[in-house]
Structure 1
Amino acid sequence: MNETIKTIKNHRSIREYLNKDIPKEHLDAILEAAQAMPTSINGQQVSVIVVKDKNTKEKIAELAGGQPYIAKAPVFLVFVADFYKTYLAGKKAGEPQVIHESIESTAVGTFDSGLAMGAAIIAAESLGLGIVPIGGIRRNPEEMIKLLELPEYTYPLVGLCIGYAENNSKQKPRLPKETFIHNEKYQKDNLIKYISDYDKTMEMYLKEIGLENEENWSSRTASIYKQVYFPNVYPTMKSQGFKNDK
């Protein structure tokens, strides 16, 4: 197993950071790794907002539902689906852009942003930094869009805290690989057994880290997914030009 794979498999979320700046060359390398990832049709419909300003990070932490580690991390990255760039390219070429009105643009922008963030995560961790992704930037998207001055045809999808870990968290176990790897066709016959086994594993994990009163995976996931927990995403996507009606 090479060092890259070891770094990936050693991943854990870090929410406590030292008061220590990230060297410019490290941050540049992380951002360059993110930009190097492939994008659909080479459309490069991803942008990254690099946030270091303390006041801005504090505001993002507030909008994300009160997540103080956003403010504490020396750098916070916001990954943005960006069809404004492609809109300008179309304008230059004399072709009207339609793709942003379709569900395809949402799928493409989300997936390509995920690829970019995945590369940023691996690059950061390979440099000895800790990270945690933040989906909470979609909690109050209208205010997030205003704060970051995002133009039409763009949308903030996910954030990433980056910094030096104050302490390493215990690595969270994953579902059995049989629930993730499906050879040739989707294998559903034994899924409920694997999920039940994982719930027991998670109960042991939570007990080990002193959170035995928290719910297992099934209960926690069900309690969240029984509702649309960020209901402002759809209306704000429409107001940004992502109609999702084609």
Structure 2
Amino acid sequence: MTDTPLARWERRTGAGLAAVSLLFLASYALRVLGEGLPGALRDLCLAVTLAAWAVFLVDYVVRLRLSGQRLPRFLRTHWLDTVVLLLPLLRPVRIVQAYQRVQRRRDGPRLALHARVITYAGVAVTLLGFAGSLALYQQEHGAPGADIVTYGDALWFTCTTLSTVGYGDLAPVTPLGRLVAVGVMVCGLALLGAVTGTFSSWLLQAFARDGERPPEGAPGAASGEDG
């Protein structure tokens, strides 16, 4: 296990940052969906959201200092951290990494690699879908000529887009709403590819264990019957 200052910081703060990420998502959801909430409660949700983002900023600065890299190189090597800082709605996805670190630290029984990939992808899809539907609803429901006017519409559009089905019955009309939709599309393709590739790899390994040749046309079928 890597024992650099940055790695130690990540191990110590992983679970706490995951909790702050969920708090950020919950407070943002209350502000977006709770239009009838008292003003004081909405202001409290805004304060929690900003405080959580401040925690993310502090974490980013500490990671930059501990990495020993200059800012341009850190931006290149830790581009995902930068994206998550600028788009904090993606932060809850890092809960998957926090869970993995906790399991590794406890050295307890873990799922097989293929099962972990599929499980983590499922968790990521759920969190991304919820965050994406919130952002889409916030941008679209009050726009002139909008198709997405309820949160149910936003959730339906996000689910069909993440699953790469895309019925086309609903579409965003605002620039930011379309940008969110593009992000959901990209994430849906990436996660679907990860799950499909992992399942295909598992099938090939199962065939190899049984000493069978994979079906003709399957990936890796030309590599031979036995390794």
Tell me the TM-score normalised to structure 2 length: 0.30
Higher CA-based Rg: 2
Comparing both structures, which one devotes a greater share of its residues to strand? 1
Larger fraction in helix? 2
Larger RCO, structures 1/2 (Cα 8 Å, 6+ apart): 1
